[in-house]
Chains A and B, each alone.
Chain A
């Protein structure tokens, strides 16, 4: 990149011309304590809670007023604090913390202050929004009734998510929480949904990998990534989700659908705990401060489906919480479970048993999503949850022997195939009509004829067959949201069943040989 000297001097000239001379009047205080990303300052008698303050060091570092006490003010420092010393002056700005918002951010990776960190050009937006903003009120909302398709069979069938809902993704480390969220973002392609991925305390290398994935699938065209890495000071981690929410709200208020992923709120809670302890606020349960519940509730309340009067925009929130050894009764998980409209619980054991996504059908629920399923999906997925529950119950018995009556055996067979159907590879996302068709095939018993190992192959070949010969079936489901009124769906499945060649059941043969040997 070459920069011409004339260009620079022209730019400087332009900026110097716009410089306004005037007396700089500001209410100032003096730093009396500095350490751990927190400063205390004398003076600043009229500072407001959450007000942006500026330190008079070389960089003009910003801080946020947090503790207003009778004798001093506790300030969290948003940025480099190495040049701030005792005695540094700090002045009020009279502004509440704001971030840039608007279309210019789409496709970019930014820090919680809205500055580009993807090495691209500087971001100049025409608008800003305060990061803390009151959530839409009762009359500003309407009920959630539009589905947000994740492209993941297990979620769309069992725990459907509606636009404007808050669905928690919870599970141990390395159980596929982030993958689930990233896949959901990828599946929003062409759905006119703006996605915001807020990475809080995630390794920079991980964030880089996620951005690469999103780019690879063309998802960065409608996605903003907000990242506060582990090397940033705790205050930046704390404000990151609010900054992301402010960016999302701007689109929501303009009638757009927004999907925002907070990955993850446990780390934000940890950052806020650190901040609060250093500010000497009294510690509560697990040493979290007293307002940790409000920290999360006011954030998640900002997800909404706006009334038509306000443009009908929506913001769907997918907060992520990491549990330790599957303990959902810890403080932060119980808090966030009670705030959200349902949770997707990822089970480590299932994950290592190869059931991926490792969604625990028993404990995962969606409290509003049912209204946001298309009718066809409701029909085929209605009994799924019960089937799985019944299967899990019988499964343990079945291990003891094969003397089972036909009905039980049938139930076991169906269960095994259900579990198999709900498996899905990473980034292998399905359209809603594909999901409906395969679940229909399952519930109508088309899969019972074939061995369990063939289920995934059956699924792939069925979709290829549908695209080639029965495209109208899928289109009809997608357009009307209902199952086809004629018998075209059944016809298609019957025809495909005849064509499908099951793999030779090598295990059955071996069994036969073994029993023959035993008989001899």
Chain B
């Protein structure tokens, strides 16, 4: 039996974590804790590897883990970190937290959207886009993550949970090109 891939692991752990946190009504504080942990792992990309490296002694690795445990405000998150450590899944912890975020967002009706534009968008423009999008997908809150990419020439591309709303000039030109070539 081959070992499970990251995506499968993430789905299982995150679901369990989400259910425990929602039973204990600790979703808000738990989510904040997890977000902080995610930041630590992202800023130290080798931390996950180090924590599951068997050539280091267990006490050393536990010591590395200690600050995170101390900073976590909820007991469930503390338990979660220790359990993931015990099962040697520390390399997958970012994926697990990401998956947890997706579950949490679903429950809160929060939507993440990546928005790409050719020129930086003003505060007001972003506001209007997120309002329009929230209305369209029926969400309470839209968290925009905007990037600037001059390659799209003009217009806006919005991506959210696997759906692309492409209003860019580049896509339109491509469409015309294909139409003329066929």
Which residues of A does B touch, CB under 8 Å? 12, 15-16, 19, 21, 23-29, 43-45, 60, 70-72, 89, 91
- By beta carbon, the residue of chain B nearest A21 is B172
Inter-chain CB contacts under 8 Å: number: 45
- By beta carbon, the residue of chain A nearest B155 is A23
Chain A residues closer than 8 Å to B167, beta-carbon distance:
23-24
| Complex: A12 Cα to B176 Cα, angstroms | 10
Rounded to whole Å, the gap between the CB of B138 and the closest CB of chain A is 15
The answer to whether A15 and B179 have CB atoms under 8 Å apart is yes
Chain A residues closer than 8 Å to B19, beta-carbon distance:
none
Rounded to whole Å, the gap between the CB of B158 and the closest CB of chain A is 9
Rounded to whole Å, the gap between the CB of B94 and the closest CB of chain A is 16
Rounded to whole Å, the gap between the CB of A28 and the closest CB of chain B is 4
Listed by A's residue number, 10 A-B pairs whose Cβ atoms lie within 8 Å are A19-B176, A23-B165, A24-B165, A24-B171, A25-B165, A25-B166, A26-B164, A26-B166, A27-B162, A45-B162
Say yes or no for B107: interface residue by CB 8 A criterion: no
- By beta carbon, the residue of chain B nearest A30 is B162
Q: Kindly identify, within residues 143 to 178 of chain B, every residue whose CB is under 8 Å from any CB belonging to chain A.
A: 159, 162-167, 171-172, 175-176, 178
Chain B residues closer than 8 Å to A44, beta-carbon distance:
162
- By beta carbon, the residue of chain B nearest A25 is B165
| Complex: A23 Cα to B7 Cα, angstroms | 32
Chain B residues closer than 8 Å to A24, beta-carbon distance:
164-167, 171, 175
- By beta carbon, the residue of chain A nearest B157 is A24
The answer to whether B7 and A71 have CB atoms under 8 Å apart is yes
The answer to whether A23 and B172 have CB atoms under 8 Å apart is no
State whether A16 and B176 are in contact (beta carbons under 8 Å apart), knowing that A23-B167, A24-B171, A71-B5 are contacts in the complex: yes
**B5, B162, B163, B180 — most chain A CB neighbours (10 Å):** B162
Chain B residues closer than 8 Å to A16, beta-carbon distance:
176
Rounded to whole Å, the gap between the CB of B10 and the closest CB of chain A is 9
- By beta carbon, the residue of chain A nearest B167 is A23
The answer to whether B178 and A89 have CB atoms under 8 Å apart is no
| Complex: A25 Cα to B172 Cα, angstroms | 12
Chain A residues closer than 8 Å to B178, beta-carbon distance:
60
The answer to whether B162 and A15 have CB atoms under 8 Å apart is no
Chain B residues closer than 8 Å to A45, beta-carbon distance:
162
- By beta carbon, the residue of chain A nearest B178 is A60
Rounded to whole Å, the gap between the CB of A243 and the closest CB of chain B is 19
